[in-house]
Structure 1
Amino acid sequence: MAQRITALSDAALRSLKPTGERYEVIDKVMQGLVGRVSASGRVMFVLRARNAAGKMQTVTLGAYPDLTLKSARDAANRTKLEMKSGRDINGEKKLVRETTLMEQDKTTLRAVVLEYEQRFSASKSSWRARGPKTERSGARQVIERVYADLLDKPITKLSDEDFAASISNYRRLRPSDGRTTANGQASRARAYLSPVLDWVAGRKSFQKLGASRTQRLPVASLMTTHDPASDDPTITGKRTRVLTEAELKAVLPFLVYPAPELETLRLGRHLDFRPIAMRFMLLTAARLDEVCSMRWQDIDRTNSVWRKPAVKSTRGGPRGQALPLPEPVMALLRELPGWKAAKPDQLVFPNGAGTGPLDNWTRFQKALHIASGTTDWHRHDLRRTAATIMHSLKVPASTIEQILAHTDPLRGDNVGASASHYIQLGRVLKNARDPQEEALSTLAEALAYIETTDTREG
């Protein structure tokens, strides 16, 4: 390694240039102080001095400019005295490293899943608490079921074979809906856990400093494990379920407020907003989380527009949406008790306690299936059903895409998000009807026809 002997100064240190190879500059003022310059130009202060036994040792002091030249000289002088007194500085550093590694070994899979949930619950809906009675998110619940035997084991000791074995051995505790395998849930658990492990290790999208866990750990990757859903013929991937006209006719009478009396449900009729929220989802083709998080302040009553603060985007980052609402939807909102009594920041469709978003959907869905005589559909299928009805009524695909918030019609024209306010005003002045409002009005008419008309053959 090349060496230079010089009287170091801050100016001299700043002028040091990378050469592609490591070299050293030796300070003439403080004997034994060395500035070690890496191939990339990073300067690290080290001390070369003899210990109490006369053995030459090299002790790292710190990096420049975090450690100034004056501080480096002071540290070198102090370290020399400590070495002469018999202190084993390098041995102490090694012990700290080994202790840290031992602490890392104690970090369990359960612990990092909890860390990830706390870190990302605000930005990822699948990692938010499922309801007021539990702190567990849906993602954590699935992971804890499938990987139950690994949860309390040190995460650095778990191999990809361990994770693969958990997936292969997982069986449903209570088989439901006629499913004969647990591959779907095991696949979901794998999909939820994979980014957790990447975050812990600082891989993929978490490579940059600050994006990953503060203390990275060498953990396995699930990329080498098999996805059980990929070769399960009972799992077809993208769901395509759409309610038929007969099913809609059976279900719609129950989607009202006050809620209908359904067996097994104990919640009071005036406290249960799940049925009317389902009707609202069907009338607006909205996502469940959008409806559950909807607040009265999001409704522009003057222009009949639902201003969603954020929508899930299939392209680009998160963005808002201004959805024009037809009169049937506004009439539905006006019939709710919160239209006149609620504060702006209160939920439009609160839970039974009135303190949070709607919950216990599975229980309500089962009761609704029994009451309506329908089966094999859930609340998420209402959005797809609404889009299918609009498509069958010749609503342009581009308008349906706007309603579903799959595309931002203003993005291509580089128009600001606040333009939706002025576009609404322009349509009023031009006496032009909004295509989205017209499409949703047509949808409302179709649903009203299905609900009130006897379509059975005489």
Structure 2
Amino acid sequence: MPRLTDVSIRALPLPPTGQVTYDDENSPLKLRISHGGAKTFIVMLGSGKRHTIGRFGEVSLADAREAARRLRAQKTLRAILPSSRTTDDAVKAYLADIHVRPSTRAYYERHLSRLSGRLSDQTAQRLSDLISKLTPAARNQALASFRAFFAWCISRHDLETNPCQRLSQAKQKSRERTLTDAELKAIWQACENDSFGKIVRMLMLTGQRRSEIAALESAWITLHTDQPLPHSITFPPHITKNGEEHTIPLSPLANSILLVSLSSTQTAEKIQPSTRSAEVPAKGSSPNSALLFPSSKTGGLIRGWNKLKASLDKKSGVTGWTLHDLRRTFSTIHASLGTPPHVTEALLNHKTGTLTPIAKIYNRYRWQKEMREAMEKYDAYIAKVCSAV
């Protein structure tokens, strides 16, 4: 087609269906016309990748031509002169830009720190070598971190393709490990009265995820009005895996652990339920000031889980288990005590339970009474097994 002009663009007919594209002579600019009447300037940047410049009428023909030439030149120069941006700089910008759960951010930081050199140096072979010696679970976690990071780089036009696209996840065997009563007792009694020990005991008592208990804040505790015992935890959406608020009742053993931690933060009478983000401190407070189980070294979230867990294994004599196995053990014990499956699922904050998707929309009952009864029965079982009373 000859060189486009404002007059010729207005005169071009609309296609009966779909879209039709016209070339601009001696220019990389193209005009796409839809049967609905939209006339849009575009430029092809190679490998079928189309970039939309803007609609005719909103963007002048002269500006569209200049934009098409500039974009094509940038594409050509980037292919000849690879991006000189370092991976370290890009990772810092990425971590500052994203909003994720604290636990997700922690493993992003851990795995992205493995990258080095320029962004243009990252290849599938190089990444494969980086993760080849990791366990299947760690490999998959690293790969997920890499994919998210490089997708962000592509969205910022720092990369053209994701070097992870040809890498596959490692096959993981589903864990079936549950802890025996004797192992639970040994672990309970080996836990020290520090933040890590309290977290492990709370995992055993509540069945929640490690990231949720480790980030527990005083503001998430709801108190009885007639006695100074915390009676429930409400985990805000930003901390739960499914992104939904989750409230669980607390048993006497869990209450006793929390009371000690609460006394070191603020008096129980001043605590109110809250869904404040853990990443946004309350006005006038310092970051993580309300953490119930802070690191003794930094005052923030606990790090170095592997070292802490190895020390607990040595002291308890129990090996071959993970902290997440406590969650599976929690569910198994509830089944043995006769807790209905839907109540156990509610305690675990699983949304796969016995209700259909439509039923979940209309059935807003939260099973708090049933969960409290189940937790009291479970608490008595753990107290007997662990000689915790």
Q: What TM-score results when the alignment is normalised by the length of structure 1? A: 0.61
In structure 2, the residue corresponding to 1:224 is in which secondary structure? Answer: coil
Distance 1:372 1:284 in 2: 21
Give percent identity, aligned residues only.
Answer: 21
Counterpart of 2:175, as a letter, is: R
1:152 to 2:78 alignment:
no
1:442 to 2:384 alignment:
no
Aligned to 1:138: 107
Aligned to 1:209: none
Deviation at 1:143, TM superposition (A): 4.5
1:365 to 2:309 alignment:
yes
The alignment covers a number of residue pairs equal to 340
- The change in CA–CA distance for 1:194 and 1:326 in structure 2 (over 3 A counts) is same
Q: What TM-score results when the alignment is normalised by the length of structure 2? A: 0.70
Task: State whether residues 147 and 162 of structure 2, in contact with CA within 8 Å, keep that contact through their aligned partners in structure 1.
Answer: no
Distance 1:394 1:89 in 2: 68
Task: State whether residues 18 and 38 of structure 1, in contact with CA within 8 Å, keep that contact through their aligned partners in structure 2.
Answer: no
Task: State whether residues 188 and 201 of structure 2, in contact with CA within 8 Å, keep that contact through their aligned partners in structure 1.
Answer: yes
Aligned to 1:217: 159
- 2:232 corresponds, among 291, 297, 305, to 305
1:42 to 2:7 alignment:
no
- The change in CA–CA distance for 1:153 and 1:319 in structure 2 (over 3 A counts) is same
Could you tell me which runs of 5 or more consecutive residues in structure 2 were left unpaired when the two chains were aligned: 43-52, 226-230, 272-281, 283-289
What does 1:5-404 align with in structure 2 at a 5 Å threshold? 18-19=14-15, 20-22=19-21, 37-40=31-34, 41-42=38-39, 44=41, 64-67=56-59, 98-99=76-77, 104-120=82-98, 122-128=99-105, 137-145=106-114, 151-155=116-120, 158-167=122-131, 170-171=132-133, 182=135, 184-201=137-154, 213-215=155-157, 217-227=159-169, 229-230=170-171, 236-255=172-191, 259=193, 272-302=194-224, 304-310=231-237, 312-313=240-241, 318-336=243-261, 337-338=263-264, 340-341=266-267, 344=271, 346-352=290-296, 355-404=299-348
Distance 1:393 1:114 in 2: 49
Question: Per-residue CA shift, 1:141-163, capped at 9, x if unaligned?
Answer: 23544xx5xx21443x5443443
In structure 2, the residue corresponding to 1:323 is in which secondary structure? Answer: strand
Distance 2:137 2:6 in 1: 68
Which structure has the greater CA radius of gyration? 1
Deviation at 1:372, TM superposition (A): 1.7
Distance 2:6 2:293 in 1: 75
In structure 1, the residue corresponding to 2:234 is in which secondary structure? Answer: strand
In structure 1, the residue corresponding to 2:301 is in which secondary structure? Answer: coil
Distance 1:139 1:114 in 2: 11
Distance 1:196 1:4 in 2: 40
What does 1:426-441 align with in structure 2 at a 5 Å threshold? 434-441=369-376
Distance 1:219 1:23 in 2: 28
Distance 1:309 1:416 in 2: 21
Deviation at 1:369, TM superposition (A): 1.7
Distance 1:225 1:379 in 2: 29
Deviation at 1:300, TM superposition (A): 1.4
Question: Per-residue CA shift, 1:241-288, capped at 9, x if unaligned?
Answer: 2221111121212336xx2xxxxxxxxxxxx32212211121111111
In structure 2, the residue corresponding to 1:442 is in which secondary structure? Answer: helix
In structure 2, the residue corresponding to 1:355 is in which secondary structure? Answer: coil
Counterpart of 1:200, as a letter, is: C
Distance 1:334 1:356 in 2: 20
Deviation at 1:320, TM superposition (A): 0.3
